[in-house]
Amino acid sequence: MKSVYIEAHGGTEVLTYGDQPDPVTDHGDVKIRVKATALNRLDLYTRDGGRGLEREFPPALILGGDCAGEVVELGGGVATLKVGDRVVVNPRLTCMQCSACLAGQDDQCRRSRFLGSAINGSYAEFISIPAANAHVISDNVSFEQAAAAPTTYLPVWNMLVRRLELKSWQSVLVLSASAGVGAAAIQVAKDVIGAKVIATTSSAEKAAKAADLGADVVINYTDEDIRERVREITGGAGVDCVVDHVGADFFAPAFASLRPGGRYGICGATTGLRTELHLGLLFSQQKEIYGAFMGTKEDMREIVELLNKGVVKPVVDRTFPLREAAVAHQYMDETSFFGKLILTQ
Ligand SMILES: [Zn+2]
């Protein structure tokens, strides 16, 4: 089958479009003809081999996690799906045997594997995955939109809905609205929960898009001070929750924007992994910090329900043909965009 794979770490030159063997469909698996795949920063980190993702070659590795497509084959024992179903794939495979998985906390599974990073992924014509990781999507949801959902909405759902328990009468600060996670957080906070949303971004054009998505106020951090503006907007109180997926560069002003007793969720650190935390303010103001990595299978089921009802509408910036994966990687690295980048075939 045609695929995009790497046989060494490096820049975009290591991305090869060519043939790899079809995936094996084991007991409990479904084989999917991939129609759309979303790019994630993880794809670039896996390609580079940085951030602890260095691996041995051979064998070659097919990149790609988030995807959507059509079921073309069922492994033994699969009862929940049928050939022809349109599905979206949760790219985090969990063991479903450990104590965390058995307790429904499979986001904490110690034997989890990420498609396209630990094992062959979705930059390919076909992928075989456990049936529990495939969710049926309605005909009104495009493959591109569905593919854009899992890695953006799962951590947002994990944080805002399940753990931070944001309420409709509360406020949330969403950092960097233009990234997939930022856009997803605005939608969930506004359209699902009904909270007041303060978003940050870096240009007037992106600010307009964030407002279109539902942000009540957008702070342009290139010429406004995040902490000061949040203080003004909230009448000096601070926000109830923060959604942070960018890390080091914005942690200090965002943490300072949180009210006493507020909850801080972090699910990514694209601007840097280390920061300084004032422990005195943490305990005296009784703030809470939550780390979130993807979400549970139940989180995914709830997200797909809302995707199918049209409440959740993932934002796609642009699509590229699969064979141009290198161009898409370059675009992600060097361009300013809003939403997700998608590979189609
Ligand atoms: Zn497990």
Dist. CA 150 → ligand 1 center (Å): 19
- Does residue 84 sit in the same domain as residue 197? no
Both 56 and 168 in a single domain?
no
pLDDT digits (tens, 9 = 90+) for 116-172: 999 999 999 999 999 999 999 999 999 999 999 999 999 999 999 999 999 999 999
Whole-number pLDDT of residue 30: 98
CA distance 255 to 258: 5
Å from CA of 296 to ligand 1 middle: 11
pLDDT of residue 155: 97
- Structural domain total, the chain: 2
The rounded Å distance from CA 166 to ligand 1 centre is 28
| Domain with 338 in it | 2-149+314-344
Residues 213 and 159 in one domain: yes
Q: What's the pLDDT tens digit per position in 215-261?
A: 999 999 999 999 999 999 999 999 999 999 999 999 999 999 999 99
Q: Tell which residue, 125, 132, 147, has the closest CA to residue 75.
A: 132
Whole-number Å distance between alpha carbons of 81 and 255: 44
**Spacing, Cα 103 to ligand 1 middle (Å):** 9
Neighbouring CB atoms inside 10 A of 14's CB total: 17
Give CA–CA dist 52/59, Å, rounded: 18
Q: For the chain, where are the E strands, in sequence order?
A: 2-6, 16-19, 29-38, 61-62, 67-74, 86-89, 92-93, 113-114, 126-130, 134-136, 171-174, 196-201, 217-220, 239-244, 258-266, 288-291, 316-321, 340-344
Going by pLDDT thresholds of 50, 70 and 90, the confidence category of residue 315 is very high
Q: Does 108 lie in the same domain as 53?
A: yes
- Is residue 298 one of the residues assigned to a domain? no
Please indicate, yes or no, whether residues 111 and 163 belong to a single structural domain of this protein: no
Q: Clarify whether residues 92 and 156 are in a common domain.
A: no
**Does residue 309 sit within a domain?**
no
- Residues 290/267, Cβ–Cβ less than 8 Å: no
Same domain, 6 and 138: yes
Verify that 249 and 333 share a domain, yes or no.
no
Query: Which amino acid type is present at position 217?
Result: V
Residue 250 lies in a domain: yes
Residue 123 lies in a domain: yes
Question: 51 pLDDT exceeds 90?
Answer: no
**pLDDT tens-place string over residues 253-287:** 999 999 999 999 999 998 999 999 999 999 999 99
User: 297 CA to middle of ligand 1, Å?
Assistant: 12
Cis omega (within 30 of 0) for bond into 91? no
Residue 179 has pLDDT above 90, yes or no: no
**Mean pLDDT over residues 36-43, rounded?**
96
- Residue 9 Cα, ligand 1 centroid: separation in angstroms? 29
3-state secondary structure at position 16 = strand
**How far is the C-alpha of 114 from the C-alpha of 306, rounded, in Å?**
24
Ramachandran class of 254: left when φ > 0, alpha when ψ lies in -120 to 50, beta otherwise: alpha
Cα(145) to ligand 1 centroid in Å equals 28
Ligand 1 centroid to residue 93 C-alpha, Å: 9
Residue 335 confidence (pLDDT): 82
**Distance in Å, CA 100 to ligand 1 centroid:** 6
Centre of ligand 1 from the C-alpha of residue 272, in Å: 29
302 in a domain, yes or no?
Answer: no
Same domain as 158, residue 144: no
Residue 73 Cα to ligand 1 middle (Å): 25
Cα of 132 from ligand 1 centre, angstroms: 13
279-297 mean pLDDT:
96
pTM above 0.75, yes or no: yes
Alpha helices per DSSP H over the chain:
41-48, 99-102, 143-147, 150-156, 180-187, 204-213, 226-233, 248-256, 279-284, 297-308, 325-334
**Ligand 1 midpoint to CA 91 (Å):** 15
- For residue 107, the CA-to-ligand 1 centroid distance in Å is 8
**Percentage above 70 pLDDT, the chain:** 100
Cα 102 to averaged position of ligand 1 atoms, centre (Å):
7
Q: CB 308: neighbour CB atoms within 10 A?
A: 18
In a domain, 77, yes or no: yes
- Assess if residue 307 is contained within a domain: no
Give percent of the chain with pLDDT exceeding 90.
96
**Contact at 8 Å (CB) between 87 and 136?**
yes
Under the banding of pLDDT at 50, 70 and 90, the label for residue 336 is confident
Distance 189 CA to ligand 1 centre (A): 29
Burial class (CB in 10 A: 0-12, 13-18, 19+), 218: buried
Average pLDDT over residues 26-37: 98
221/239 same-domain check: yes
CB 344 within 8 A of CB 242: no
CATH number at 204 reads 3.90.180.10
Q: How far is the CA of 77 from the centre of ligand 1 (A)?
A: 20
Mean pLDDT confidence for 312-334: 96
Residue-wise pLDDT tens digits, 76-118: 999 999 999 999 999 999 999 999 999 999 999 999 999 999 9
What's the gap in Å between 98 CA and the centre of ligand 1? 4
- Average confidence score pLDDT of the chain: 96
| 303 domain residue, yes or no | no
Mean pLDDT for 208-214 is 96
Of the candidates 247, 232, 231, the residue with the CA atom closest to the CA atom of residue 181: 247
The rounded Å distance from CA 174 to ligand 1 centre is 30
Please give the distance, rounded to the nearest whole angstrom, from the Cα atom of residue 104 to the centre of ligand 1: 9
Residue 184 pLDDT level (bands cut at 50, 70, 90): very high
Residue 49 in this model has a pLDDT that exceeds 90 = yes
